[in-house]
Amino acid sequence: MPSFVPARVLIARNALGYPLGARLADVFAGRKIPVAVYDGRIPSVSRTSFRERYLLSKRTMVVLVREGREFQTCKPSAHYQLPLVSGCPGLCQYCYLNTNLGRAPYVKVYVNVDEILEQAASYVQARAPETTVFEGAATSDPVAVEAWTGSLAKAVGFLARLENAAFRFATKYCDVDGLLDVDHRGKTVIRFSINCEYVIDTYERGAPSLDNRIKAAAKVAAAGYPMGFLIAPVFAFEEWRTQYDDLLRRLRLRLPAGSGPFTFEVISHRFTSRAKNVIRAVYPSTTLPLDEAVRRFKRGQFGYGKYVYPADLMTELTEFFRDRIAAHFPESTVLYVI
């Protein structure tokens, strides 16, 4: 059973002219999932409150054609986004997509995958002989729908065969079986977003458990993919040291012997004013720490401001994670703690 089963599916009429669109229409109809074909703009959700509209949107898959426009850049982690999917079905209360996609968080699947990959190839050719890196999860978790689409597997194989191309994406989801036998040639880096039990249980509703994420990571490591781990967002709650050290210990014990080295990216909790407003509207009982008075305001690289932990606490977090990651994974690299 796929991790994400939509409550309803909206399919653009022109998407039915593509093999993936036609197949998805048949598959969902066969599963008795409501399917509606639409023309023009995506139909709006008819609900009485913002919260109801938001939550139904999260359970709605929109199948559509990505019209020919330029790829978004994705600095500093990659050169371009690879737009196979947009949105995520998870209900992680802190998610940065609350800023980007707050009012219409549909899970959008693009069916013209071959056209998207050919456009990616044109970017690679234009930058040759330099390597062009594509990010597959800038505004989505593409693994959440991979069991339905197979788009990631196609992209991994395509970019593996393309000279001067590389691919990367991050995920919380576990539907990785379709990726394990792909000839990736070491050119796709898969990063798993993980967290301690307290954060997952409290703030990551609708996302897989820590054990299931580690199990999926072990499969990917055994398949020889270059791998990393994204520990995010880090919360400085009362028992944060004990729980994050336990997270790293469990990860080390469950990964295949001899696998690695890995990369680690550690991101502390931060929020924007816009995201806070969405969070409070959708999750009125949230216990997320959203008090600006105990945070430091920082201007982000994309122009908007965010509230981050004070400098002295960030120093403490940085020293802890660098020390404990080195202890559990001495062969691996901490790319940053921010």
- Report how far apart the first and last C-alpha atoms of the chain are (Å, whole number): 36
Residue range 2-36, pLDDT digits in tens: 889 999 999 999 999 999 999 999 999 999 999 99
Region for residue 299 given its phi and psi (left: phi exceeds 0; alpha: psi -120 to 50; beta: otherwise): beta
Q: Does the structural domain 8-337 have CATH classification 3.80.30.30?
A: yes
Are the beta carbons of 121 and 113 closer than 8 angstroms?
A: no
**Residue written as tokens 């994974």?**
329
SS3 state at 246: helix
Per-residue pLDDT band for 101 (boundaries 50, 70, 90) equals: low
Residue 176: pLDDT over 90 = yes
Residue 301: pLDDT over 70 = no
Cα(252)–Cα(222) distance, integer angstroms: 14
Angle between helix axes 210-222 and 240-254 (nearest 10 degrees) is 40
Region for residue 186 given its phi and psi (left: phi exceeds 0; alpha: psi -120 to 50; beta: otherwise): left
- Average per-residue pLDDT in the chain? 94
Per-residue pLDDT band for 47 (boundaries 50, 70, 90) equals: low
Boundaries of every domain in the chain: 8-337
Q: DSSP string covering 160-209, please?
A: HHSTTEEEEEEES----GGGTTS--TT-EEEEEEE--HHHHHHHEETS--
Nearest to 134 by CA among 161, 162, 169: 169
Residues 6+ apart with CB under 8 A from 270: 233, 295, 298, 306, 307, 308, 309
Cα(29)–Cα(194) distance, integer angstroms: 34
The two tokens of residue 78 are 């990659």
Per-residue pLDDT band for 198 (boundaries 50, 70, 90) equals: very high
What H or E segment, with its residue span, contains residue 231?
strand 227-234
For residue 303, how many C-alpha atoms fall within 13 Å in the half-sphere facing its CB? 0
Residue 102: pLDDT over 70 = no
CB count within 10 Å of CB 188 equals 25
Q: What mean pLDDT do residues 64-76 have? A: 91
195 residue type, one letter: N
Residue range 122-175, pLDDT digits in tens: 999 999 999 999 999 999 999 999 999 999 999 999 999 999 999 999 999 999
Percentage of the chain beyond pLDDT 70 is: 96
Taking each continuous run of H as one helix and of E as one strand, the counts in the chain are: 11, 16
State the pLDDT at residue 213. Answer: 97
pTM as predicted: 0.93
The burial class, CB within 10 Å (0-12 / 13-18 / 19+), for 294 is exposed
Cα(280)–Cα(289) distance, integer angstroms: 11
Helices (H), 181-310: 197-203, 210-222, 240-254, 273-282
The two tokens of residue 13 are 């009429």
Nearest to 324 by CA among 251, 248, 228, 263: 248
226 preceded by cis ω (within 30°)? no
**Phi/psi of residue 165, nearest 5 degrees:** -125, 150
